[in-house]
Amino acid sequence: MNIGPDTTPGNAPSSGGAARPADETQELFRRLRWEHLREAGLPEAAPPVCPILKLLKGQKALVTGASSGIGRGIAIALAHAGADVAINYASSSTDADAAAEEARRCGSAALVHKADITSEAQVESMFATVIERLGTIDILVNNAGIQDDAPFESMTLDQWNRVLAVNLTGQFLCAREAVREFRRRGIRPGISCAAGKIIFISSVHDLIPWAGHVNYAASKGGLAMLMRSLAQEVAPHRIRANSISPGALRTGINTDAWSTPEAYRELMRLIPCRRIGEPDDIGRATVWLASDDSDYVHGTTLYVDGGMTLYPGFASGG
């Protein structure tokens, strides 16, 4: 399979930030995002369009769960920043291939790899394959995660186990393989001053309790201590570990929360910045956290949430 940059005419690397779909749905959503602000006399809350700097040239990244949603946004942003990317996916090869195509249009090499991150054997084999094909891995973005919600009393053990398996155990298995590769290889002078970077994609629900989602919130709370304990352990080896905790992002995991005017208005009550996040918002933060610009940032959680963790209810109460 071709993993080189796409040089097809018309598919030249974009000079802007991560690409945005410009279709009709996007236009409808833009109006929905704008209307409630206009009514309230507030300025439009539009996402950034400035170009992503080439901070990751020569680096190799693996992003789990990257065929859609936040993971896809991250993979594309890393490609814009000059990294070659491996796109892990669990089910849809069509979506993964499309994400890889888009990464190639940024001028990067991209490959796709199907693996269930809850399987130790599949994770080991994914790392072996990606390292063989890209040469090494400098950046792991531990993104894959699921939700399977239920009221506490009716939550099944299977729902509990599945969410913990993907969101926590899967991130452990991938981080362990990454650390093994970073320790084996050491620092690559001229590429990065760190031997490797691991970025855990968590959630505001590693902090905000979430009724009806105890399996999800518990997995993200666990992730916070997985990341911090790992960061403490691997720091002397020049391996950096940090988390990004997204708030409400416009992806398929939470369509119900943003896809109608009523739901969107209700959601905005929880977001002081008054706009839903885009996968590109997380992509941009990931680029910075993976780059040497943040070399002294270690063991922290960066909340990329439009202020969701600021207890917005207290803006007019308390």
Placement of tokens 């506490």 in the chain: 152
Name the token pair of 248.
């409400």
Residue 175 corresponds to which tokens in the numbers above?
């981080």
User: 196 near 240, Cβ under 8 Å?
Assistant: yes
The residue (of 254 and 300) whose beta carbon lies closer to ligand BGC is: 254
We find the least distance from the C-beta atom of residue 146 to ligand BGC, in angstroms, to be 9
Rounded to whole angstroms, the Cα distance separating 95 from 195 reads 31
Minimum CB–partner distance for residue 210 and ligand BGC (Å): 7
Question: Cβ closer to ligand BGC: 204 or 290?
Answer: 204
Give dist(CA 103, CA 87) in Å, integer: 10
Catalytic residue selected from 89, 216, 264, 303: 216
Nearer to ligand BGC, 108 or 167 (CB): 167
From 111, 105, 152, 154, select the one nearest 130 (Cα to Cα): 111
Closest CA to 88 of 124, 117, 108: 117
Binding positions for ligand BGC, rule: CB under 6 A: 147, 203-205, 247-248, 253-254, 257
Q: Are 98 and 305 in contact (CB under 8 A)?
A: no
Taking the CA atoms of residue 116, residue 122, residue 124 and residue 129 in that order, the dihedral angle to the nearest 10 degrees is -100
Q: Shortest gap between Cβ of 170 and ligand BGC (angstroms)?
A: 15
CB of 183 to ligand BGC, least distance (A): 31
- Report the residue number, 192 or 251, with the smaller CB distance to ligand BGC: 251
Whether 296 is catalytic is no
**Catalytic residue ranges:** 216
